[in-house]
Every structure is written in C-alpha cells, then in structure tokens.
Structure 1
Amino acid sequence: MLIKAMNNKMAVAISLVIFPMLAFAQNTISVHVHNVASKKGKVNVAVYNSHDTFLSFDGVLTTNSVYANEGIVTLKIPNLPAGEYALAVFHDENDNGKLDTNWLGIPKEKVAFSNAEMRTFGPPKYKDCAFHISSDYEINITL
C-alpha cells in the first residue's frame, strides 16, 4: 500500500514537471536554402512573427547565418515557441553584413522568402510568407 501511494505521488510530481515543459516546448526550424550561387560570403535568415515588423531591421525576432556553399545550405533556428513565423533569406556574397541594394532600393544580392516570391513592385506581404509551427519544422526556400 505504501509503495502504491508513493508511486501515485511520484507520478503526480513528474506530471507537474513535465506538462508545463510540454506547454512551452521550444521548436527548431530547419531552413534548407537552395540555388546558392557561390561559396562567397554567408547566407542569412531573419525570422519575423508579426506583419507590423515584417522586413524591418528593428523587428527581427531572431537571425542566423552560415557560410555559403554552392548549391544548398541549411540553417537552424532553435528555441522557437509554437506560433506563426515568416522568413526572409539573402545571400550576402560580399559578407558585409547587410543586404546591398541599388539606388531604387532593389536588392543587388539574391533574396527569398518563406512560401512566397519577390513581386514585381516589391517584397511579398507577411501573410503570404507566414506559416505555423507546433513542433520542429523543415522548410525549403529557393534563392
């Protein structure tokens, strides 16, 4: 009887520890970037979680970068709670840490987005790029 009562208490204690951890589970987005033109520079990804901040430098939720490799590179974005996100990716070939643009503001370096493409007169909207995650997630993006 005593052992059964201890097992029940232990089960309750473990549940109290594990269930909150599951509720706030952190997820990883694996971003597979295709069509990287060269080994020069880095491939950068910016993660956004709001249409109000989408594509603003101050509104980036988190970023990551990897050295470029011709063909495909993979970036990992860890520690994200379940939710809605949109990604912007660019190949910083000259490795100056910024997206180079011409005098009209048009990118000189390759740019891509999650679930959407650059439009004729500017970038896509947040809602066109957004996706939901509730566990680890993989996405393919082509530059």
Structure 2
Amino acid sequence: MFDPHLAGLRALSTLCLSGCLGLGPAAQAAELTVDVLGVASADGSLGCALFNRAAAAQFPLALAAATRQRQPATPGAMQCVFRDLPAGDYAASAAHDQNDNGETDRNFVGMPIEPWAVSNNVRPSLRAPRFAEAAFTLAANETRRIELRLQR
C-alpha cells in the first residue's frame, strides 16, 4: 500500500543523505590548478585571475569581474588553485606585480611592463588577449592543471 507521507520522508532522507555525503550539487564542482612558470624574483606578489564566460568582455583587464588570488612572489614556479567551480568556459591570467602596488604596471601606450600570462599562453602583439583565444572548458567534477608562462 502506498503511503504518500512515507514516500515523502524517503525522498527527503535521500536528498539529505546525498547532500551530507557530497553527492548533491557540490559534487559537480570542478577544480583548476594554475601553474605559473617564470617568476623571476621574490619581489612583490603574484596575482592570478579566473574569468568565467559571463565576464568574457572584461578579460583580462577588469579584475573586479574575476575570481582572484594574490600571494607573495617566490622565484621559479608558483600555483594558484581555484576550487568549487561550476562547469563552463573560463580564461585565466597571471601577473608578477614586482613593486606590489596591486596592479600590472604599463608603459605610455598601455602595454604591460611587468611579467604577465594568460591561459593557452596567448601573446598577441599590440593588443590585449581576447577571452576566446585564452578560453578552455571545465567539465563537472573535472580536476585540471594548466601552465601559464610569465613574460614581459
């Protein structure tokens, strides 16, 4: 015999159990490790930014539109790890803020004078990289590692 109250309790307990065991929506989260190569010195800090598709028009300059991380610089290779990301299209950027003023310094024509990189290691001349050039797709539950090579 079907008892609607019992069926509702079973559904609720299954939902609660799934959430408690990490089988619910949080289990769909992806993780991205960005290996930043070529940090030349311990001066300043390294900043990493991750832009999603909704922030594509702001890539790579409008950091307020991105998920950001900042850490003291260490010569050689460094990492930025972004966790609990929804599946989707992303582009990453990194810059060695050598004077630690919180921005990537630029010359009189707007070109960066501090080392920087974007995903897919795109380096167009005379313009900023575009989101489409630097984009990659993260799938649900994916753990991915990418390399960005800093250059001036």
> Normalised by the shorter chain, which TM-score bucket?
0.7 to 0.9
Task: Assess if the C-alpha contact under 8 Å between 2:121 and 2:148 holds in 1.
Answer: no
List per-residue Cα deviations over 1:68-113 (Å, max 9, x = no partner): 1111011111221111100111000111101100111010100100
**TM superposition score normalised by structure 1:** 0.82
Checking the alignment, whether the CA contact within 8 Å between 1:117 and 1:123 is kept in structure 2 is no
2:32 pairs with 1:32: no
State the 1:125 CA deviation: 1.2
TM-score by length of 2: 0.77
User: What is the distance in 2 between the residues matched to 1:23 and 1:65?
Assistant: 25
Aligned residue pairs, count: 135
Identity %: 29
Farther-moved stretch of structure 1 (89-98 vs 57-66): 57-66
Kept after mapping to 1: 8 A contact 2:52/2:90: yes
Within 2, Cα distance between the matches of 1:70 and 1:63?
20
Task: Say if 1:59 and 1:94 are closer, same or farther in 2 by CA, change over 3 A.
Answer: closer
Structure 1 unmatched ranges of 5 or more:
1-8
Q: Alpha carbons of 1:23 and 1:70: their partners in 2 closer, same or farther (altered >3 Å)?
A: closer
* 2:28 alignment partner AA: A
Whole-Å Cα distance in 2 between the matches of residues 34 and 23 of structure 1? Answer: 31
Counterpart in the other structure of 1:3: none
Structure 2: gaps of 5 or more residues: 1-8
Equivalent in the alignment of 1:139: 146
The alignment status of 1:52 with 2:57, answered yes or no, reads yes
State the AA in 2 paired with 1:16: L
- Paired residues of 1:48 and 1:59 also in contact (CA < 8 A): no
Q: Quote the Cα distance in structure 2 between the aligned partners of 1:101 and 1:13.
A: 56
Contact 1:32 1:72 in 2 (8 A): yes
Find the aligned partners of 1:81 and 1:24 in 2 and give their Cα distance: 10
